[in-house]
Amino acid sequence: MPVISKREKYFPDVTKEKELGESPSSHRLLSQAENGKTGMADINSNRTGMEAKKVIRSPLSFFSHKIGVGGTLGLQEYMVTVNSGQEDELEVWGYRVHVVKYLATLAGILLTFGLLGLPLYWWKHWWLRFTRVQCILEEATSVLVVDHYKGIHTTYHVKDVYRFNHAQGDMVIPANGKADYQIVSNFRYFNCKKNRYIWDNVEATFYKLEGLDRNISLGELHAYKEGLSEGSTKMRSFLYGKNEIVVPMESLWMLFVKEILSPFYVFQLFSICFWYADDYWQYSTAILLTSCVSLASALYQTRKNQQNLRDTIVSSEVVTRLRPDGTSHQVISSDVVPGDIIVVPDHGCQLLCDAVLLEGVAIMDESMLTGESVPVTKSSLDKHPATTIYNNRDHEKHTLKCGTKVIQTRKYRDQVVTAVVIRTGYLTSKGDLVRSILYPPPVDFQFEKDSHKFIAGMACIATVGMIYSMVRMVLAEESFHDVVFEVFDLITIVVPPALPAAMTIGIVLANQRLLPKNIFCISPRTINVAGAVDCTCFDKTGTITEDGMDMWGVLPVQNGMHSLQEEGEEMVGWREPVQDISLLSQDSLLVLGMATCHELNIIGGEMRGDPLDEKMFSSTGWMLEMEGEEQSQLDQLSMPYMKSPVTSTNSVIQAAPQKLFQFSSDMQRMSVVTRVVEEQQEGFTEPSTMVFCKGSPEMIQRLCLPDTLPPDYTSVLESYASHGYRILAMAGKVIVPAMAKAGKLNKMTREQVEADLTFLGLVILENRLKTASIGVLTELRGANIRTVMVTGDNILTAVSVARDCGLVPQGEDIIRCRAEMVMGRPSVTWMRLVDRPVEQNSQQPFKKDTTKLSLENNPYHLAVDGASFEIICDSFRDCILPFLATRGAVFARMRPDMKQRLVEILQDLDYRVIMCGDGANDCGALKAANAGISLSEAEASVASPFTSKTPDISCVPILIRESRAALVTSFGIFKYMAAYSITQFVSVMILYDIFSNLSDFQFLWIDLFLITTLAAVFGFNNAYSGPLAPHPPMSSLISLQPLFSLLSQLAIGICFQVAIFFYTRAQPWFVQFDYDNPCYIGTPAEAAFNSSGLRDRFGCDPEDDPVASYENFSIFTISQFQYIILVIAFSKGYPYRESFLKNLPLLVDILLLTAFCLFLTVWPESWNACQIHYELFAPPQEDTTYRLVILAMVGGNLVLSLFCEMFVSDVVVSKMARSGDKKHEKINLELSKRPEWPPLSTDTERTEVEATQSNDQEDSQVFIMGTDIARPTNQAFDSLFSTPVATDSSSHSAAAVSLNPPTATPKRHVAGSELMLSSPCKSFSTAQASPTSSNSTTGKFVSCDRIDTSSEPEAER
């Protein structure tokens, strides 16, 4: 048996948190080398051990290692990591039952009357520790599944391991990491979060059960075209189960038991029982009634949510399944398994599994998953190359997804549209969506964690008070009954049972206020999180700008204006821009391309498709038609044909698409092969077969023949893009008749079709800003909330929109970061983007500004495209990525996974991020953000905690404003409840010291009438309607300002209580309370006590726990005012909430309670029944000075509390507490000291930063080429964070010797300046060199520890 240290005997060490944790997905995306996992099994690499890598950390390396278990010999036998490097990465630890421990635990539960079972029920991993022993996974009967969410939130799941043993091999399981199945007679598995994990005997590890699409080739998928035999279906059904997405529906009784056993209700139940036993029935009854109402509401809401989700999800269809013998069977969709061949019906069917289309074409409605109502055309999967591995993203155009609807199919007349099932149940796309609802990511919010710590601290205070009181009462020989009741009474005082309920008031009220503003929340706990955000990310199209695009016009070239039959000399010059497309010749190639290159369809007699395609096609004036009646064409594999208006030569052009390569966001283009004929008066012309391709100008540029592109192509493109236009490029070519036959066309690959194209022109569209965008972005910027645009559009278009909408203020520069691979090495250049308007009716390019920019006093923002972003994440993650993520304003050409990656990087820099998108391609980023807002009402919005029915970004400041108010309310009410409990605790401890206490009716007055009513209306303050404050409210209780605020108020309250106590004792009429003589018999106070009626009501027996005394009167009267003072002090208004004076319910409650408190203090004798109920032994009426002194002390307490809270805490301490310790603040501070960064490129100067990861051991250099004077070292960008000179790093010295030996400049030797980054694994040097020699430099790689600060001589020009 391997040796395991005592610390790791039962559980992994999850306490080794680094400065910054990251999610498994972020871990993977940032290419961070994993550390400290030696000896653990990685199921993706099929290895039982991982080689530890030596990683040298950099001061800027904020993206730290994933938190895990340190390497310990033998851990691979106890633990494996499943889903390694993925978002759902889990650690699995093996356990088996230990009979002795199991029986001992059961005995302990019985002996403690179930009390021991409560913590074991709450923390089920402790149940494992008490009843089981850790063992090798092969012998495990239970597993502990540990989920380190983002490295900062650990969740434990305890799951049973199931084993099936059959006498003969009649079961199948997937081969680990392979596409085939193996027949077995037994297998073991466990289920976690609706995923099944199967044991691999060969690799000695668990692996996740996946569908048919794991590592399967296209040829293997097509091999399933005949279908599965009945025996194979039965075996796979046993493995995968029913094809159902079952939402668990628990009975009301089970829900009740689970709810009542939660810590909150258990503590409330204990408190209620204790109070009833102590004859404190009034308040306990009130708490019991409110708890019942709360419990009933919780059960109703939970049940309703489960029912609604189940009603939404549960559905079934009758499908046709094919067998290898050629027969077909009608079966319920729940019976299909991966590998089945199903027939896709013509129309009107909802697909309830994920399948790959093998034959035919299907037009699908995917709005449920994507939020887009545009029909999507799915084509059959290619058969060649057969060895290509199927990938869900790459082959999305061939994949039918669960939950989508089949609108229509197309096929040859005798063809059957078939698809192979690849995923069923929770393995499908819809299943993954439902799983994200059932198991949402934990909301990690500092306030909640701190509140738990604070409650624990209050419990410690209660423990100290308990011990002190117990010792005092034992020494006084009090009865056991009195000791127990008085001691436990302190627990319910210091930790009030109503605290958790009170803390949710702000969230509940904020949620109610969001509803009338068309913002709906499915995760109310996220409201407080949104109150602390300081960064907002926006999608562009559909979010900042309108969804639809309007045609601006076209910019053709000479070739694009040629007619169909024209065979003229090819010319590449630009023609004049044309804004009215009808003015163009209908037979010109550019118009023909616009009319044929699209994915429009006729569905239900209407043209349906992408809105951009619709706009472009409609502008040509052509018509979309089907041959004959639409219904008769449903059995044909044909697309609608296009028909032009009558041309200038009285002819009509008809185009029939033959082959379509659909648009892909990764490929950034689509193309169509179409057969074109011209119907003239004398008949039809000879048909021509043509290819038209449209897409992003950058992509089309690569596909076109260079000699067909105008020489100023790039500059003209930039001129229009910089004005915010959406630009598409159009290209085409003619296919020679020999290759135009149908058989040869079908065999042509996309690469062959799209090769050697002729450029035809640019199609220019404009996208208008939404009316709310400018005002919202201006408001957010005024509140110091960073705004970032994350879009899939062209970078220059995005930059222009960013300027127009105010995301980048006028006068502030935008610098483009461009990263590319040069000779296999990454290179980075920086260029300022100049904002100049494009001239209408002119295609002249703008001249670039070649002036060297000094950014010392000029704010700037960075812009980057997706390709450059990926290179920087992979190669410059320590030296450029933190700066780019901190100063980046525009991130363009970003794929959905890149958007999610960016959000996680921003979070790693200590930003709290709101992501706002239209729900189409933003689901990953919406889920990853601290708070996501979807502007789509489709079911894809379930990925986001918030959904706005108002389709613009005006919801963002509304949400922030309400969330800030909710957060401040939560803070205030928590501090109020904590201060109330400690204040009451102090009052009780003072009275305990004289063996007295507050009376039951005094407790009732404080707990029920004062605290409960004030707490109930505390959060009724509306959010502040003025401008957003420049700083978010505090989000941590364990920080300077909240602690000072709470402790200062407690100190003030305690001082006044002690002061009134001693002041009372100093009065001439004062008689000290005697527990054995509670009626003051034989003392000067006897007459006054008898006249009050207290003796007749309560008697003089000490066993009845009398409390009436002068000390009790003084402590009670001043403390009741203190609870009102606390609510006034903690009810913060500006700048996050309206003043409490506008909170009418709170104001009325305060006035009424204060009036009654005055009555109890000044004139209690005037209402004798009330005085008796409260057990108030008031001082002599003749001494009015004493009561006025109490009121004066109350006034002093109020003034001092308000001064301390409003001035000292909110002004002085607040400034001290707002330290710039967040990582992005440190980076901005460092950049403010670097006026020369980033080094900008000009026409004659180019800055390249070349680096690779240190593991590759390649050169890392910076080259600055040009005729500029070399900068001295002390002005260069020598380090991003200063490295102390005294530090002697051997790794730096070694790098200086080995990585960059001196090289000679071929033409001239120029004195250079050393430039270093402080990252030990990446150091850089700069030197002036000849522009013709980019790979030579005189600057050497120098250790960061030995930076030369002397100035170098200037280089000759």
The answer to whether residues 41 and 47 touch, using CB atoms and an 8 Å cutoff, is: yes
In one letter, which amino acid is 472? R
DSSP state of 737: G
| Separate counts of helices (H) and strands (E) for the chain | 42, 46
The answer to whether residues 25 and 86 touch, using CB atoms and an 8 Å cutoff, is: yes
- Say how far apart CA 629 and CA 1027 lie, in whole Å: 60
Hey, what long-range contacts does 5-8 have (CB within 8 A, 24 or more apart)?
Answer: 5/72, 8/69, 8/72, 8/75
3-state SS string over 869-938? HHHHHHHCCCCCHHHHHHHEEEEECCCHHHHHHHHHHHHHCCCCEEEEECCCCCHHHHHHCCEEEECCCC
The answer to whether residues 1236 and 1277 touch, using CB atoms and an 8 Å cutoff, is: yes
**Tokens 């040069």 belong to residue:** 822
The answer to whether residues 1056 and 1197 touch, using CB atoms and an 8 Å cutoff, is: yes
H or E segment and range at residue 129 = helix 124-131
**Tokens standing for residue 1248:** 């390249």
- Say how far apart CA 705 and CA 693 lie, in whole Å: 13
Residue of 340, 489, 534, 539 with catalytic role = 539
CA-derived radius of gyration, the chain: 37
| Main-chain phi, psi angles of 1101, to 5 degrees | -85, 120
Tally Cβ neighbours within 10 Å of residue 325. Answer: 9
Q: By three-state DSSP, how is residue 654 classified?
A: strand
Among 8, 14, 11, which Cα is nearest to 149's? 14
The answer to whether residues 1136 and 964 touch, using CB atoms and an 8 Å cutoff, is: yes
> Pairing relation of β-strands 725-735 and 758-766?
antiparallel
Handedness of CA 961, 966, 968, 969 (dihedral sign): positive
Helices (H), 690-730: 697-703, 713-721
Catalytic site includes residue 922: no
Handedness of CA 245, 251, 257, 259 (dihedral sign): positive
Burial per residue of 39-78, b for 16 or more beta-carbon CB atoms within 10 angstroms, e otherwise: bbbbbbeeebebeeeebeebbbbbbbbbbbbbbbeebbbb
The answer to whether residues 360 and 344 touch, using CB atoms and an 8 Å cutoff, is: yes
- Say how far apart CA 1190 and CA 1201 lie, in whole Å: 16
- Say how far apart CA 1338 and CA 1301 lie, in whole Å: 10
> Pairing relation of β-strands 405-410 and 399-400?
unpaired
- Say how far apart CA 926 and CA 903 lie, in whole Å: 9
- Say how far apart CA 1343 and CA 10 lie, in whole Å: 46
Handedness of CA 1263, 1267, 1273, 1279 (dihedral sign): negative
Name 1151's Cβ contacts closer than 8 Å, sequence gap at least 6. Answer: none
The answer to whether residues 78 and 72 touch, using CB atoms and an 8 Å cutoff, is: no
**Tokens standing for residue 1315:** 């430039």
**Total length of the chain:** 1357
Kindly list the catalytic residues.
Answer: 539
